[in-house]
Structure 1
Amino acid sequence: MPTPEPVPADVAQLCFGSVGHRRLRPVANAFRYRAYYLRLPLRSLSDPASAWPSRLCRRNRFGLLSFYDADHGDASGDLLGWISALLHAEGIDDADGQIWLQAMPRVLGYVFNPVSFWFCQRADGSLRAVLCDVRNTFGERHFYLLDDGFAMEQGAALHARKVFHVSPFNPVAGSYTFRFVRVLQAQAAGTAERTSAAIDYCDDAGVLLQTSISGLARPLSDRSAAAAFFSYPMQSVGVMLRIHYQALRLFLKRAPFYPKPAPPQQKVTR
């Protein structure tokens, strides 16, 4: 992992860390893989005077790493306009601060993002709402809007009823509990920011599956983009291969299998 360094406020970030899963029942299964992901301040990047900070991680153009606006939101490319309209339609009018989009970049033109997060802040920096963009390997997606009506505390439990099919080894039932944390962490090279997301999938008997995504932030630059690509050049392909590999492991362990239902008609749930 590259050496952490201080990250100024409201600059595009590349976070280096890991993704982990732990299934508790009815069969046990666990894994953890290296990963990196982007965190982009959309309001700052919408300023015409704001330059994209890396030539090796390119915006809307092919590169070693790349970020395409059309991969997110409604594919129109207007990310800030889309999320602002969605929040307004859901009655959230006070998310007038920074909006951070967290997602994996394309690697050599390809990406599969199982989940992306839109962190919507008030003007004072407090977290007002989180939009979770969840995708499955069937090309479907669904949005869970987490909103407790107040400024969210660090690590507060946020809940959503499961309505979208992700894995054939889990039914479309039960609920998710999300926890998000951003903390400053002392490092030898200075203070760095660590971001983490924890997601528990629960049924009537309790927690069934635990997922975690965490990483240390660095400013997005040619240096950090090169470090990401050359330390893990197969990330995007690896995500898809590992999804199918873990599915095979569960199949061989005789985990219960649930056929895919039709996707929910409503695209956003709270």
Structure 2
Amino acid sequence: MKFISWNVNGLRAVLKKDFQAIFKQLDSDFFCLQETKLQAKQIELNFPGYQAYWNYADRKGYSGTVIFAKSPAIKVTNGIGIDEFDHEGRVITLEYEQFYLVDCYTPNSQQKLKRLDFRLKWELAFQTYLKKLDQTKPVILCGDLNVAHQKIDLKNWKTNRHNAGFSDQERQAMTSLLDKGFIDSFRFLHPETTGIYSWWSYRFHARENNAGWRIDYFIVSDRLKNRILKADILTNIYGSDHCPVELELKE
């Protein structure tokens, strides 16, 4: 069972950069996107054999998520059930017989951490939401979680110590999530691997110099760890400032 997650930084933009060919090439059972930057009916996009599940932000051209799934979900939930957090199209949950699949685009704390308080309130609420799901059946969480958890998850950790995505508070929030019975699938299989990132700034030739951050994840319930076959970051795929990340699980 194969899962792909990708922050496309504008679906209309990436459609002009061979997205449909990449989608077909990756041939995933589930294809989760973040930052689609769309409103309903702005594009017609259908992939044969897939169901599409969309969550749009109220604000035009902002945030947004979608999951393309080969198997129809038992239940679809947009948001986490808290009004303060459910207007930006950030979360889609698909329920299946044996697991929940959660596609997430975590709020960015922004320059000078001006949205950090909102971000930390989000983290508490979102972790409570995930833990509640996990009490019923295993969870597969994917998406742009907007945090590099460890020093090895970004190129220049010393100069980014108090910046958005690498603040002590955001890193601790990720630790807290993992302590609640979840696993970072990439680090589970590649505990010491360095120099593999999923996001690069468009400035300063960051991607050419591999001055990146690993902020895109597949986080799974601890009881799924023995089913993890593969957890990779597809750095050879272009089209966005992020690259896709991949998870394969035993059926």
- Bigger Rg over Cα: 1
Question: What TM-score range do you get, normalising by the shorter chain?
Answer: under 0.3
Length-normalised TM-score, structure 2? 0.27
Name the one with the larger strand percent.
1
Name the one with the larger helix percent.
2
Length-normalised TM-score, structure 1? 0.26
